[in-house]
Structure 1
């Protein structure tokens, strides 16, 4: 199949949406949790979390355009400055997926999807108890993107995870807790380690056949 830009634009809307959302490959599956100043808890699934830097430790994610009916996640982040990023494992994929539903403002996805909020070490925003990797974040900057989306940048304030899921090099072994990834908007894949290679230096490149 070969599709030009014009042909892509002429595709059926749903087909085009699914195609363009999935051509980037597997994306990380995370729940981002927040709390308002009035203590209303919110959690929603995101597939756009990216590494920005290690020193200082920073992560970013993309927030959809804030329409005339804004969702709770971004207003809560702007209001309080804090949020959490929580890895999703295969034991609660379905519950995590349905946090994408557009609930009424102030209605908690934690309660509706039967996920458990967890407060650790006095951090303001809730973590997801079921998550094997929990990251406490502080909002640093929001950058408007050309398509109306917002790139949210935060600093890593705290990490909670079990000792056995991290190896001696400091790398997370995703398969040890059945971590999952997302393709498109609603298809989930298990993650299995295939190989690990050394840091690449030019004089160490193999002679590939």
Structure 2
């Protein structure tokens, strides 16, 4: 099958959204935890987290268009704080339900049975059921003119994860943490043990660790 721009544009809206969301391959499945200035919690599932740099540790999120009805974005801009939490196999159903458009006065934590976990000094809750969680401070917000989405860049200021998920070289063992991957809008995948490769050098062939 070959598709050009006209073919893609001609797809029905939902079909096109499902198709294009699958093109980037496997993505991270994360729950983004926030609270408003009065402490009312919100939880949203997102698959757009991107590593931007390690020093300082920066991650970016792309948030869909919308004004105050995008409760996550409003809370991040108001409090400058949010959490990112890996989805694991045990919480897939509850995590996916966070995509439902609940009114602002309904917390997705309450609606799905997930538990807010507060670390002292931070204005956003983590997810107690997540194995890997982090808190970020907002560093930059960029409305994107091309499609009215928003890029939010945050600095990681706190991380909580099990000791078993920490390798000696600093990498995370996401299999040990139970982290799942997401494809498209609704397909959650368990992750097998990885094939790890040594640092690539021009004078050496590919080597496994």
Contact (CA 8 Å) 2:114, 2:127: kept in 1 or not?
Answer: yes
Which runs of structure 2 are paired with 1:41-80 in the superposition (5 Å)?
Answer: 41-67=41-67, 70-80=69-79
Aligned pairs (5 A) from 1:113-132: 113-132=112-131
Match of 2:100?
101
Residue 165 of structure 1 is matched in structure 2 by: 165
Q: Deviations over 1:175-194 (max 9, x none)?
A: 11221111111111111223
Name the SS for the 1:106 alignment partner: coil
Paired with 2:31 and 2:160, the residues of 1 have a C-alpha distance of 15
TM-score, scaled relative to structure 2: 0.94
Please name the residue that 1:177 is paired with: 177
Shift of 1:173: 0.7
Deviates more, 1:32-41 or 1:188-197: 188-197
Residue 167 of structure 1: SS of its match in structure 2?
coil
Q: CA deviation at 1:90?
A: 0.2
Deviation at 1:12, TM superposition (A): 2.7
**C-alpha distance in 2, partners of 1:174/1:121?**
26
- 8 A contact 2:200–2:206 mirrored in 1: no
Taking the aligned partners of 1:105 and 1:12, their CA distance within structure 2 comes to: 30
Gaps of 5+ in 2: none
Residues 72 and 106 of structure 1 are in contact (CA less than 8 Å); yes or no, is this contact kept in structure 2? no
For 1:122, what is the secondary structure of its paired residue? coil
Question: Aligned-pair distance for 1:198?
Answer: 1.1
Q: In 2, are the aligned partners of 1:30 and 1:45 still within 8 Å (CA)?
A: yes
How many Å separate the matches in 2 of 1:10 and 1:206? 43
The equivalent of 1:112 in structure 2 is 111
Deviation at 1:206, TM superposition (A): 4.5
Residue in 1 that maps onto 2:10: 10
Unaligned runs of 5+ in 1: none
- Aligned with 1:78: secondary structure? helix
**Contact 1:174/1:192, CA 8 A, preserved across alignment:** no
Give 2:88's aligned residue.
89
- Partner Cα distance (2:133, 2:45) in 1: 14
Secondary structure at the aligned position of 2:95 is classed as: helix
